[in-house]
Amino acid sequence: MGLDLAIKNGTIVDGSGGPRYRADIGIQDGKIVEVGRIHSNANEVIDAEGKVVAPGFIDGHTHMDAQVAWDPSGSCSCWHGVTSVVMGNCGFALAPCRPEQQEWLARCLEAVEDIPTDAMMAGINWTWETFPQYLDNVEKLPKAINYGAFLGHSALRMYTMGDRALTEIATEDDLKQMGDSVSEALGAGALGLSTSRASTHVTPDGSPIASRIADWSEIDYLVDVMARHNRGIFQIGPDVASGAAHKTFLDRLQKVAVDSGRPVMFGTLSTRQGVDPLPWQSQMQYLDDTADAGGRIFGQTTTRPIIALFSVKSYLPFDNLPAWRELRELPIQEQQQRFADPGIRRALVADESGMKPRDNTFQGGGAATTDPKKPDYTNLYALKGVDWDDPTVDELSRMRGQHPVEVMLDLMIENEDQLFVQPLVNETPEDVLGMLLHPRTLATFSDSGAHVCQEMGSSLQTHLLSYWVRNRKMFTLEEAVRMVTFDNASAFELPDRGLLRPGYRADVVVFDEATIKPRLPTVESDLPGGSRRLVQKADGIAATVVNGTTTLLDGESTGCYPGEVLRGNG
């Protein structure tokens, strides 16, 4: 039998967590057909000598709903070994959507997720109104990775209730219509329903997004529709405004999980922000308690802090201050010249003292960059690598005997790509490790496609392999690969992905375990219409294969787009 592709001489880490072994893999018609010593001819051969051959990574928490329209590669996730993503998380989605609501929906995505409206209006050909039409549109688009999608509650509510969605409780009629849309979406292959109760999720005018106006009985009703079909995952963005709010949220969510029996997912977060934040340990206990009570529940966690990222090319905490505002409109080199001018410098430093003081309000990536408070320089790092060992601006300021703002100005004069990172949640490595070690959490929360100039979560998988496996030796390679492949495939109910076994879809990543690592991100203006975003690539990945076709070789696109829509009923 002739094969389409053979990956030869590699070390197989098959996604199950079992120990590695040397073998070849034979692929035909998008599937793995042979594992062992391959003697058949193949049209294409990848020599994986000295490299690890693993299932393609799966990321269940992304916001690539808009980007899929203009970026066939699926960056930045595709550069980190990711071959499948789930979009439509946290209730945000581009379907269902009436034509007159398109721009408003785009503005909401910009307000919450920092996806520029201009890029969306320029880059999306809105040919759909309903969720099934949206999925059909994604099906037709050229794409190098696979996409599954949740039906987003905020979009659904706006579609059903119009502007009433932003102020009113649903009527019985509204509920019935929304419930019918949930059934319709499940029939078309939605992976489930997503929503958000997060205090940081607001419309462009600062009011709560539509899903937050819903009462819990509306959530009960919609999740019950999934329960009646015995199908679909429920994903929800938690309310972490304070420890008390968080606890109330979790208690109520437990009832949804137990009553419905559907898999429930939410972000487990460690934070020092807000009033009396709920420690991550209580959230882990909650996962076990909910499981004991009969719920099927998963915590989504990252592998690194969730951050606000600043640079001269994107946001700085000082952008809205009088002496800064006009200067920040200038070309970068001119900004750098002004940063060095003693008179201007004094004014820039002086302005900082008038910044909004820090308080107990929980800020997400959005507000932290667009509505910043006076920085805590002991929690603002001048990035020099991706290994979590960078100096704080406060440390540099003491070392150099300079005001922290002067330190930042000098670093930005020296290097226009200098990045400053403010951890927002999951601040310390040990907290992140504690959550990752819990068997009911999933390593998946990149927010890829969102916070395009504020975050760099798309490197979650390469960070896991370089930092936690190679540097810290907290997981074996086999365990870490299982976390981002089989564990996520199981939780997101993708039955034929996440393992390298005959019969499974041929999503494969070939990498060097000694060198795999995310690179430092850079700010590029490569969105439709020229908007900027962070671009982060990785070292050490030799090849990526999606549905049996090679999509990336040494980080370069092959120009092939074999990605598919992951349909929940498929």
Tell me the C-alpha distance between 542 and 463, whole Å.
Answer: 17
Q: Which two tokens stand for residue 291?
A: 């499981």
Question: Minimum Å distance from CB 198 to Zn ion?
Answer: 9
Q: Give the CA radius of gyration of the chain.
A: 23
The Cα-based distances of 473 to 40, 350, 433, 466, 530 in angstroms read 38, 46, 11, 9, 41
Task: Tell me whether residue 445 or residue 467 sits nearer to Zn ion (CB atom).
Answer: 445
Least distance from C-beta 377 to Zn ion, angstroms?
28
Side chain identity, residue 172? E
Residue 12 is inside which H or E element, if any?
Answer: strand 3-12
Structure token pair of residue 516:
């795999």
DSSP H helical ranges for 306-416: 322-325, 332-340, 342-352, 365-370, 393-400, 404-414
Specify the residue, 90 or 494, whose C-beta has the smaller distance to Zn ion.
90
Task: Please identify which residue in the block is written with the tokens 């100096």.
Answer: 391
* Residue ranges in 39-78 that form contacts with Zn ion under rule CB under 5 A: none
Considering the complex, state which of residue 269 and residue 499 has its C-beta at the smaller distance from Zn ion. 269
Strand pairing report for 233-237 and 192-196: parallel
240 with 277: CB under 8 angstroms? yes
Q: Which is nearer to Zn ion, 265 or 500 (CB)?
A: 265
Q: Which CB, 92 or 420, lies closer to Zn ion?
A: 92
d(CA 25, CA 501): 9
Only one of the segments 40-48, 81-89, 507-515, 540-548 lies at the binding site for Zn ion (rule: CB under 5 A); that segment is 81-89
- For residue 267, the minimal CB distance to Zn ion (Å) is 8
Which residues are registered as beta bridge partners of 382? 420
Nearest CA to 299 among 310, 315, 311, 288? Answer: 288
User: Residue 223 belongs to what H/E stretch?
Assistant: helix 216-229
Cα–Cα distance for residue pair 486/509, rounded to 1 Å: 14
Closest to Zn ion by CB, 48 vs 450, is 450
Residue closest to Zn ion, measured at CB = 90
Per-residue mark of binding to Zn ion, 82-111 (x: CB under 5 A): -------xx---------------------
* Nearest approach, Cβ of residue 365 and Zn ion (Å): 10
Q: How far is the CB of 93 from Zn ion (least distance, A)?
A: 11
105 or 312: CB nearest Zn ion: 105
Q: How far is the CB of 208 from Zn ion (least distance, A)?
A: 16
236 in contact with Zn ion (CB under 5 A): no
In the complex with Zn ion, the residue whose CB is nearer, 89 or 461, is 89
Q: State in angstroms the smallest separation of the CB of 91 from Zn ion.
A: 9
- Site residue total, Zn ion (CB under 5 A): 2
Least separation, in Å, of the C-beta of 233 and Zn ion?
Answer: 14
x-or-dash string of contact with Zn ion, 290-319, rule CB under 5 A: ------------------------------
Interface residues toward Zn ion, by CB under 5 A: 89-90
